[in-house]
């Protein structure tokens, strides 16, 4: 492509970005145009205009002076002169230079990382990670760059293909194939090694310019001096042939291709190591279905053909190569990690950051994690799973961070969650997901011991309205009874009290009475579906399920109305009546009630009834605290909604909510909290204003 045409396209986009008030993005596009064509007068003119908008008056004056010098038409020179006079006449020439986007800024608050973990082997779980010494809560115990990473297909147009952060408006395509998009020159070079060569500035600088302006032009047009190191293995280079196979193939297959390429390049550099054994991962090939095995073999052959153009000598298409790729695919499917980002719809755009919360604009959408990529972390994959984890994994760019969420004693296992945790799903559903996805039967404390959360999450209430007992469905009874049977057959001789995690439900008499009754019944395995665990009253589960399904019809209508933001009074009334129906059938701490309460909180917030929104939000949080615990990250997400509603109402309790969510987030994210949740600082400021 003609370089002048590329420069013109950058300037055209800069003009549009300037009109959209995306000033930093506009400035970057001007710089890119000038690095390709340093004598482009329109690029210098647009750069001067955007610098003036940013308050960088000194730079704006120099940009317009250069534009005037390089402009050939008399009319153009006069227009630039008038613009320049306005800037020069301004009384104050302050520089409020805004820093250009740089992923390294995410690491401005680096924490010291000490060697406090070790790899151990246990009979139940095989290899895993454990603590060398006592580790305090919120300690950063592991950081790691990925061995290989691939962007999720649904994020290809919205996130950078290298760092996986959200793309700015001035995204940069690959200079060679234009398929992947990057947020910066730095990411593009790291991924594929392609870059434009700048024209020497001495050939384009007008002799009438001062030496200071010549130096200024050189500083802008030479641009970023970053060049990849020779040892860098470019993850996109083997895909950069104008071929779309990384887009068409499933993400885990494309990731396998990148892992193979990295292994080959490392082998070339070190003159050793086997292609697959370098990863040293376990796999589940022998445990998957014949259909899944056939699929892996087909994708292995397809991937080998795709890699032939660059690695035909290292990867001959034969039985040995196919077998190695099949094993690698199986390894990736059980060892790769989902790279996630925090998302909140109300604070998704930058113009929402720092916006003062007003009545009707409170945050009610979910703060959630979205999957933006899939990656292999050689050490990170050694952390075993628990449904009640003591460490939390998150990502800065593509760097894995693992932090303790509770104090950990020396030689204790460090375990994170591979999926739903206790409080999110019940035990039987967690076990099925882990068996289907990872081919192992979870034996963590949450799945081997009876927890109050698993009893309450889908429980029904007793037909006797004065009885606080729990009524369990047959599927829950089967799962929990199996735990007890395994415990009674365990020769280790632990006490029944240690096996039942039902005494930690707080001092609430409503729930503790039910838990004590369950504990008494457990000692004789006298647990029957449909019967109250406290008083023994019988509940018609079939009729209860039917009534619950009917109530949820109106709750789902409300959910659809929330999405469309068209909420009628009739829909609200029907949903409110349905909530009452659910409360008459389900146990007070059933998670379905929490979901319904949350939906009504969102709906009332959207229609402007913030007091009812606050009440429903509090009710939802009260239930979730019983299921997850008071300091779980999910409670922090819910407190974001509550505090925003409280701020809108001028409720001073918002300060307590903000302080509490701040404490929870810092436990899970430490010094990176403000980087992960950019809305926290304006939220704190609004809370501070409330009590002044």
pLDDT at residue 354 is higher than 80: no
* CB of 117 closer than 8 Å to CB of 130: yes
- The Cβ of residue 564 has, within 10 Å, a number of other Cβ atoms equal to 7
pLDDT single digits (tens) 323-342: 999 999 999 999 999 999 98
pLDDT the model gives residue 273: 52
For the chain, residues classed under CATH 1.25.40.10 are: 3-88, 564-691
The CA-based diameter of the chain, rounded to the nearest angstrom, is 98
Dihedral through CA 331, CA 332, CA 335, CA 340, nearest 10? 180
Residue 21 burial (CB < 10 Å; 0-12/13-18/19+)?
A: exposed
pLDDT the model gives residue 374: 96
Structure tokens at 251: 């993400």
Dihedral through CA 286, CA 290, CA 292, CA 293, nearest 10? 60
pLDDT the model gives residue 90: 66
Q: How far apart (Å, rounded) are the C-alpha atoms in residues 660 and 658?
A: 5
Short-list 142, 118, 131, CA closest to 337: 142
Structure tokens at 71: 């402009």
Look at residue 218 and give its three-state secondary structure. helix
pLDDT at residue 190 is higher than 60: yes
Mean pLDDT of the chain: 84
pLDDT at residue 367 is higher than 80: no
Please, which residues have CB within 8 angstroms of residue 313's CB and are 6 or more apart in sequence? none
pLDDT the model gives residue 631: 95
pLDDT at residue 77 is higher than 60: yes
What is the band of 353 on the pLDDT scale with cuts at 50, 70, 90? Answer: very low
* CB of 339 closer than 8 Å to CB of 371: yes
Q: Does the domain spanning 564-691 belong to CATH 1.10.150.120?
A: no
H or E stretch including 548? helix 541-564
pLDDT the model gives residue 72: 86
pLDDT single digits (tens) 613-644: 999 999 999 999 999 999 999 999 999 999 99
Q: How far apart (Å, rounded) are the C-alpha atoms in residues 195 and 175?
A: 7
pLDDT at residue 291 is higher than 70: yes
Q: What percent of the chain clears pLDDT 70, i.e. is strictly above it?
A: 82
pLDDT at residue 158 is higher than 50: yes
Highest-pLDDT range among 18-22, 262-266, 284-288, 506-510: 18-22
Structure tokens at 382: 């050694």
Structure tokens at 94: 């302050």
pLDDT the model gives residue 221: 81
Structure tokens at 206: 């007008």
pLDDT the model gives residue 619: 98
Q: How far apart (Å, rounded) are the C-alpha atoms in residues 662 and 138?
A: 13
Structure tokens at 526: 């006298």
CA angle 421, 426, 461 (to 5 degrees): 130
pLDDT the model gives residue 214: 81
Over residues 356-376, the mean pLDDT reads 68
First-to-last alpha carbon distance for the chain, in angstroms, is 60
CATH class of 3-88: mainly alpha
pLDDT the model gives residue 143: 95
H-assigned helices in 106-238: 185-192, 211-222
Structure tokens at 595: 């979901």
Instruction: Say which residue, 158 or 491, is predicted with more confidence.
Output: 158
Residue 398 backbone dihedrals phi, psi, to 5 degrees: -110, 10
pLDDT at residue 203 is higher than 60: no
pLDDT single digits (tens) 533-577: 888 999 999 999 999 999 999 999 999 999 998 999 999 999 999
pLDDT at residue 196 is higher than 80: no
Q: How far apart (Å, rounded) are the C-alpha atoms in residues 551 and 548?
A: 5
Indicate the angle between helix axes 633-649 and 680-691, nearest 10 degrees.
40
What is the band of 656 on the pLDDT scale with cuts at 50, 70, 90? Answer: very high
């Amino acid at each position: 492509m003609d370089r002048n045409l590329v420069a013109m396209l950058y300037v055209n986009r800069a003009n549009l970005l300037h009109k959209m008030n995306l000033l930093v993005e506009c400035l970057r596009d001007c710089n890119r145009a000038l690095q390709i064509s340093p004598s482009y007068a329109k690029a210098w003119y647009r750069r001067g205009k955007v610098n003036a908008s940013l308050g960088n008056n000194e730079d704006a004056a120099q940009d317009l002076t250069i534009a005037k010098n390089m402009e050939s038409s008399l009319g153009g020179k006069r227009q630039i002169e008038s613009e320049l006079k306005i800037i020069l006449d301004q009384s104050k020439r302050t520089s409020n230079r805004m820093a250009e986007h740089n992923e390294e800024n995410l690491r401005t608050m680096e924490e010291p990382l000490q060697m406090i973990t070790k790899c151990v082997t246990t009979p139940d779980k095989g290899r895993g990670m454990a603590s060398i010494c006592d580790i305090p809560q919120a300690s950063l115990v592991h950081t790691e760059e990925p061995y290989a990473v691939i962007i999720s297909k649904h994020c290809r147009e919205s996130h950078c293909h290298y760092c996986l952060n959200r793309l700015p408006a001035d995204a940069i395509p690959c200079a060679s194939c234009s398929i992947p998009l990057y947020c910066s020159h730095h990411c593009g070079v790291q991924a594929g090694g392609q870059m434009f060569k700048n024209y020497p500035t001495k050939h384009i600088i007008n002799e009438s310019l001062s030496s200071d302006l010549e130096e200024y032009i050189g500083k802008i047009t030479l641009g970023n001096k970053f060049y990849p190191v020779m040892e860098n293995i470019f993850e996109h280079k083997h895909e950069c042939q104008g071929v779309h196979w990384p887009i068409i193939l499933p993400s885990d297959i494309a990731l396998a291709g990148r892992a193979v390429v990295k292994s080959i390049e490392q082998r070339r550099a070190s003159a050793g190591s086997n292609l697959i054994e370098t990863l040293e991962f376990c796999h589940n090939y022998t445990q998957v279905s014949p259909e899944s095995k056939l699929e892996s073999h087909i994708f292995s052959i397809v991937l080998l053909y795709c890699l032939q153009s660059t690695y035909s000598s290292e990867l001959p298409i034969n039985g040995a190569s196919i077998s190695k790729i099949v094993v690698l695919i199986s390894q990736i499917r059980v060892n790769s990690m989902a790279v996630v980002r925090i998302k909140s719809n109300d604070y998704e755009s930058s113009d929402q950051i720092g916006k003062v919360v007003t009545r009707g604009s409170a945050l009610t959408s979910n703060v959630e994690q979205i999957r933006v990529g899939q990656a292999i972390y050689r050490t990170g994959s050694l952390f075993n799973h628990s449904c009640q984890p003591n460490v939390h994994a998150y990502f800065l760019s593509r760097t894995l961070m693992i932090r303790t969420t509770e104090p950990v004693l020396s030689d204790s296992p460090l375990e994170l969650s591979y999926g739903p945790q206790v409080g999110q799903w019940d035990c039987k559903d967690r076990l099925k997901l882990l068996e289907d996805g990872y081919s192992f039967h979870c034996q963590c404390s949450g799945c081997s011991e009876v927890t109050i959360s698993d009893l309450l999450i889908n429980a029904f209430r007793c037909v006797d309205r004065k009885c606080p007992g729990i009524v369990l469905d047959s599927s829950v009874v089967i799962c929990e009874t199996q735990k007890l049977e395994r415990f009674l057959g365990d020769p280790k001789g632990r006490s029944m009290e240690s096996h039942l995690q039902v005494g930690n439900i707080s001092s609430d008499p409503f729930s503790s009475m039910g838990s004590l009754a369950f504990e008494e019944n457990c000692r004789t395995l006298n647990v029957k579906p449909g019967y109250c665990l406290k008083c023994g009253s019988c509940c018609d589960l079939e009729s209860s399920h039917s009534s619950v399904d009917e109530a949820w019809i109106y709750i789902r209508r409300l959910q659809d109305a929330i999405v469309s933001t068209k909420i009628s009074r009739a829909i609200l009334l029907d949903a409110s009546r349905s909530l009452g129906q659910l409360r008459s059938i389900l146990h007070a701490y059933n998670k379905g009630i929490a979901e319904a309460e949350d939906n009504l909180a969102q709906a009332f917030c959207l229609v402007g009834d913030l007091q009812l929104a606050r009440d429903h939000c509090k009710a939802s949080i009260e239930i979730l605290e019983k299921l997850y615990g008071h300091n779980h990250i999910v409670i922090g997400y819910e407190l974001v909604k509550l505090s925003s509603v409280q701020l809108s109402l001028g409720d001073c309790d918002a300060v307590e909510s903000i302080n509490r969510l701040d404490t929870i987030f810092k436990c899970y994210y430490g010094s990176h909290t403000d980087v992960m949740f950019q809305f926290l600082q304006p939220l704190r400021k609004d809370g501070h204003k409330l009590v002044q």
